[in-house]
């Protein structure tokens, strides 16, 4: 969405990749990229914060820590099963909304406001496609008051920093020999090709987390 804005009309040749292209990218796409990341961060912090405060309102913090950890262990284990099924079926997470953020937001609301709305939508975490159920695990941990309310800040930073780097810092690739442009699709294409690898990494991380929680319960 913002990658073409960052590149603008700069000739995509090796000779200009080290020139003033970086300043150009920050000038034209810095504010919209910041709006995208800020919107995501606000939504993610609100989502996980609300989960934690709902858990507190329901008295989750009054339960013994062992009981909360055991409940978290059971939920994470169930979500791991869902991720394994999704991996075997080569699909996305089956329990998030089957939708994407509308791609025409920038055209409808402008570069900065459109990017902000995009971030606010995707930052809600469960309103769009996800490759893993790990997001739901974080929500469960918040509801059980096992994870802190501010985990959304870390979640938002985990999205914002890589996406900002991909938009602003990654230099443009030169056009193909036939004159057709590689931009901006080569980045999304690369990510799609490594989707299953990402699913495996998230799955292994969830398993490690599950083992750690099991160890805490056993102690």
Q: How many angstroms separate the CA atoms of 195 and 205, rounded?
A: 15
pLDDT tens-digit series, residues 87-145: 888 888 888 888 888 878 888 898 899 999 999 999 998 888 888 888 898 999 999 99
The confidence score (pLDDT) of residue 21 equals 66
Confidence of residue 14 (pLDDT cuts 50, 70, 90): very low
Task: Return the domain boundaries, the chain.
Answer: 3-218
pLDDT tens-digit series, residues 43-88: 999 999 999 999 999 999 999 988 999 999 999 899 999 999 988 8
Q: How many angstroms separate the CA atoms of 176 and 11, rounded?
A: 13
Residues in CB range of 2: below 8 A, 6 or more apart: 29, 32, 33, 36, 106, 111, 115, 167
- The two structure tokens encoding residue 135: 């997001």
Is residue 177 predicted with pLDDT exceeding 80?
no
The confidence score (pLDDT) of residue 96 equals 81
pLDDT > 90: percent of the chain: 37
Average pLDDT in the chain: 83
The confidence score (pLDDT) of residue 4 equals 67
Is residue 12 predicted with pLDDT exceeding 60?
no
* Residue linked to tokens 């602003």: 168
Confidence of residue 6 (pLDDT cuts 50, 70, 90): low
Q: What pTM, to 2 d.p., does this model score?
A: 0.82
Q: Does 29 or 20 have the greater pLDDT score?
A: 29
- The two structure tokens encoding residue 71: 């409940």
The confidence score (pLDDT) of residue 39 equals 96
Q: Pick the closest to residue 3 from 163, 193, 178, 195 (CA basis).
A: 163
């Amino acid at each position: 969405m913002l990658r073409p804005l960052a590149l603008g009309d700069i000739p995509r040749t090796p000779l200009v990749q080290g020139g003033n292209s970086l300043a150009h990218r920050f000038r034209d796409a810095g504010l919209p990229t910041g709006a995208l990341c800020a919107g995501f961060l606000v939504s993610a912090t609100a989502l996980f914060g609300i989960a934690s405060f709902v858990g507190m309102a329901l008295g989750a913090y009054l339960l013994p820590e062992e009981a909360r950890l055991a409940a978290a262990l059971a939920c994470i284990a169930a979500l791991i099963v869902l991720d394994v099924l999704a991996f075997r079926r080569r699909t996305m997470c089956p329990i998030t909304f089957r939708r994407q953020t509308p791609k025409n937001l920038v055209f409808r609301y402008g570069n900065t406001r459109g990017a902000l709305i995009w971030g606010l939508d995707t930052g809600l975490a469960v309103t769009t496609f996800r490759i893993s159920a790990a997001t739901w695990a974080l929500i469960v941990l918040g509801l059980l008051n096992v994870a802190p309310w501010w985990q959304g800040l870390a979640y938002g930073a985990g999205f914002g920093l890589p996406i900002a780097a991909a938009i602003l810092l990654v230099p443009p690739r030169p056009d193909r020999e036939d004159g057709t442009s590689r931009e901006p699709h080569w980045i999304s294409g690369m990510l799609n090709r490594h989707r299953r690898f990402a699913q495996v990494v998230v799955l292994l991380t969830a398993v490690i987390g599950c083992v750690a929680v099991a160890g805490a319960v056993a102690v």
